[in-house]
A = this chain, B = another copy of it.
Amino acid sequence: MATHKRQAFTDQEQELAQVAKALGHPARVAIVRLLAQRRACVCGELVLELPLSQSTVSQHLKELKAAGLVQGDVDGPRVCYCLSPTGWARARHLLGALLAELPAPPEAHCAC
């Protein structure tokens, strides 16, 4: 990511950024939704549902897996992708923590 100064940020900030980045592409959001609805499970099914090539879908799955949001279990010649319960628990926690820090909607403005 071009000379990041990672050491300067909190672990939580980096983790949250990692999760957010993984969701920072429409295709990956769509994949997560497909997996959530159980409408698709193996890579080939996802390819059929998405306007992307097999290799591209595979790459997106790899990124989601790297972020811990998805896990892939080998099932014979194919791979069954599922949402990772622990990964999403972590994501919920991180997102919730950030949202909890925000001021309530009516007064987000600063004093300036």
Contact bitstring A81-96, B, C-beta under 8 A = 1, else 0: 1111100110010010
Contacts of A99 in B (CB 8 A): 88, 92, 95
Query: A23 interface residue, CB < 8 Å from B?
Result: yes
The tally of residues in A whose CB lies under 8 Å from a CB in B reads: 59
Copies held by the complex: 2
| Cβ contacts A to B, 14 pairs, < 8 Å | A8-B51, A21-B24, A29-B98, A37-B101, A38-B103, A41-B110, A41-B112, A80-B110, A82-B109, A84-B108, A85-B105, A85-B106, A85-B107, A95-B95
Question: Within A9-45, which residues are at the interface with B (CB < 8 Å)?
Answer: 9-10, 13-14, 16-18, 20-30, 32-33, 35-38, 41-42
